[in-house]
Amino acid sequence: MGIFVVWFPAVLVARQRVGNLNRKDFWKVMLRDLPDWVRYLVYGFLGYAFVNFFYFFTQGAATSTGGNGRETPSIVWRGFSGHWMVFYLAALAILYSATKENAGETRCLNGHLIPPGAHFCTQCGQATIHR
């Protein structure tokens, strides 16, 4: 249940920050103001969740249905843990990145500062982010 406490605010903040962007640029914008190691950690946890789910699906599905029904097998908890890790870290990254964003500055998709009134970045030519 705790995942919903942090995930709903993260989704609301993400929707506000994304504005009129394409879906392919979503994580680029969400993780823009974070240190590189946090960005790599999010992608690493996402990869771990896929591997963990594949392992659970192939190995744990047969053992999770057995037993007396009173106790949840450890393989089931492991299957959920990868997803919990991804959702908690993604929520933390989205909310932390939103706190680092400067409200008075306009930036392009690549994070470069754009002069007031400009519609395109002078460094890379990307469009501005309109919210």
Give tens-digit pLDDT for 44-81. 999 999 998 888 888 765 555 555 566 777 777 887 88
Position 102 scores a pLDDT of: 56
Position 45 scores a pLDDT of: 92
Residue stretches of the chain with pLDDT short of 70: 21, 60-70, 101-104, 129-131
Q: Per-domain residue ranges for the chain?
A: 2-100, 101-131
Position 69 scores a pLDDT of: 60
pTM of the model: 0.65
Position 88 scores a pLDDT of: 93
Position 1 scores a pLDDT of: 74
Position 99 scores a pLDDT of: 81
Both tokens assigned to 107? 């930036």
Position 89 scores a pLDDT of: 92
